[in-house]
Structure 1
């Protein structure tokens, strides 16, 4: 949790200002910025997949130390060399290490058996968003002082994260050795993942691709839409403060509710329905109050869905392949984040913002219906695995 908090604060010094810094300070066109952000997301996809693949085969302690070291180097590079086009290179490298580290942290989280896996992923998500609250509340002030200072503080946070990892993440290596001796001695007796498990996992991956594609409209296109309605940009930024702050509160509530219900699929379906409803509210949004309501509903949806899916994926995969499937989960999510701005731009140019919001709401409802029907039809055939 401490590691995720430090990482999240450091990354929150980078992603909110990327477009503003490139456009306003470096005079880079919006179309080029779009390409840079696309490659940043694609690098995250690559980092996620490779980290998940290697986690099942290599020492995870060495992998996470390498990933954090790489992220630290990119931030040190940004501190001293943040002109154009070198900034684009650092952003690509940062995307790769971000996907790498997130996957490894989630994969290592699957090995924790002293508490319920839902608690592990809820608290990781809690730490990530507490970091967003802290980072986004500071980034504007530091940015106005000095961009070099901003990057140097981010690099300093990752140096501290590296120290925390070196000292505290070593048990991951011991768990890896135990898994190796227990599972790989009997590889000839290893059974493939059941078909029902594969089907529901594929459904989750496709669902995350779609949901994140739609969710990215909040990140990429809502700011433009709100300013066309005469709503100041600072009001749009405040929505993300509401988002991160609510997630922190909701995660604490979910941890309490987890003692009273054991069905992750109910939590996931409820969350997806809330995300769909948030876009339904956006269809009617013409004043700032509607955007606040929509953001609150969206936050309830993401806070219940996004940490629950990796926890359920963990339960549906054996120990030998947990890293691979956590990596695939993050890779599909990153692909959605990469496609989101492009998809939204095409829909807006082809029709309108209202049509985009309607499409998002209906598509997510279809996802909700599809997962619900699939789970109802095959849940009795699913094989549940336990971390070991």
Structure 2
């Protein structure tokens, strides 16, 4: 049974348990991805080109996992799906602890990518079932928990990596055991939620399988393109920019410090957004975040020392903290109840496409033209997203049907 904001229905999990699952998931993930490139290249002797292929497989698998998981959420019991996904992720990580040699590491990374997408899409989809709190608040808190996990995870890896890689895999596996146990104990209301969905299908098949309205779909596609392009450019901060900074004589540890700054600012901004209404609408928040992404790449054109790179990162992070949680929130409002999981999965899949192709896209432009030219291409590309979104939303706004009926 659905209730007004502020009341906790029996078929709804408590938000803090969902946030704990998100926190543990990203803690576990953050024990793996920061050191993968260095470990493969420096310890296993894998070429940088092949490392890029491994990361591509990881991202593509993540995209596939997100899509399949989103579909499964709409048709199967989310309680079972998340428990199975978390348990399998823990098993893979324990397998990595036992044997992290090449080329088995490639297989492990592909599997963790798939399961990361699987679990991520499920948590986002389960978040859509929470009706006792506004959707914007729920997704802001989900993103907040994610970045607390990233902050703690990446800081811990910096100290534990030199001590033992095996220990990192074991800790990550234990964290996903925690995700599994948390789900088993605290996600049981999803069983009732799924039973009610099945009952609704029996009572009204037409209502249960309500398709996304035409104009909602067009607007959602605009958001999918936006998040894919942003990640296409953003991924070069995680890959090619480190080489550029080192070439300018900036120590690698200062590049790593940028990510601590990134995660810290996200935590602060999300804490503010979860308590105060800064933007009058979700769409304005998305526009602001997209604009910040574009400006950050403009400032990179002139960055030659750490202070300027730090400034660019601050601007980039303001964009990330505002746009990234707002897009899945708006897509949720545009999605009928019968297909919310599907479109959350597609949102994550769009992100994964950008993540997968970003380093290759940036690398090709940098190799042929140079870093400054890439920064210009990235800035122009993201500015063009604004040129697309603003008139699209202005034309479609009055034709959009929102689920639930909230003001945007």
TM-score class, shorter-chain normalisation, is: over 0.9
Q: 1:72 aligns with which of 67, 90, 95?
A: 90
Q: Deviations over 1:248-281 (max 9, x none)?
A: 00001112233x6551000000000000000000
Instruction: Output the CA distance in 1 between the equivalents of 2:197 and 2:134.
Output: 19
Equivalent residues, number? 386
Alpha-carbon distance, 1:173 to partner: 2.1
CA distance in 2 between partners of 1:93 and 1:6 (Å): 18
Q: Is residue 179–residue 319 contact of structure 1 (8 Å, CA) maintained in 2?
A: no
Q: Does 1:86 align with 2:116?
A: no
1:209 CA displacement = 1.1
Aligned to 2:10: none
> Following TM superposition, by how much is the alpha carbon of 1:182 offset from its aligned partner in structure 2, in angstroms?
2.3
8 A Cα contact 2:26 2:149, kept in partner: yes
**Is the 8 Å Cα contact of residues 279 and 285 (structure 2) preserved in structure 1?**
no
1:164, 1:188 → 2: CA distance?
35
TM-score by length of 2: 0.93
Give 1:193 deviation, angstroms: 2.0
Give the match for residue 201 of structure 1: 220
In structure 2, the residue matched to 1:213 is: 232
Report the alpha carbon displacement of residue 180 of structure 1 after superposing the two structures with TM. 2.7
Distance in 1, Cα, partners of 2:191 & 2:290: 36
Partners of 1:188 and 1:305 lie apart in 2 by 34
Q: Secondary structure at the match of 2:129?
A: coil
Superposed, which structure 2 residues align to 1:32-47 within 5 Å?
32-47=50-65
What secondary structure sits across from 2:75 in the alignment? coil
CA distance in 1, matches of 2:161, 2:100: 13
Q: Which of 238, 242, 262 is matched with 1:223 structurally? A: 242
Q: Is the 8 A contact 1:183 1:320 kept in 2?
A: no
Task: Give unpaired runs (5+ residues) of structure 1.
Answer: none
Distance in 1 of aligned mates of 2:337 and 2:206: 16
Q: CA separation of 1:285/1:184 partners in 2, compared to 1, >3 Å: closer, same or farther?
A: farther
Equivalent residues of 2:292, 2:315 under 8 A apart? yes
2: CA distance, partners of 1:184 / 1:225: 59
- The SS at the match of 1:144 is coil
**What RMSD in Å do the two structures reach over aligned CA positions?**
1.2
Secondary structure of the corresponding residue to residue 250 of structure 2 = coil
CA distance in 2, matches of 1:132, 1:194: 36
Unaligned 5+ residue runs, structure 2? 1-18
Secondary structure of 2:274's aligned partner: helix
| Residue 179 of structure 1, CA deviation | 2.5
Which has the larger displacement, 168-177 or 272-281? 168-177
In the alignment, what sits opposite 2:3? none
Provide closer, same or farther for how the CA distance between residues 184 and 123 of structure 1 changes in structure 2, counting only shifts above 3 A.
farther
The answer on 1:252 being equivalent to 2:271 is yes
Matched, 1:378 2:396: yes
**Is the Cα–Cα contact under 8 Å of residues 211 and 336 in structure 2 kept in the other structure?**
no
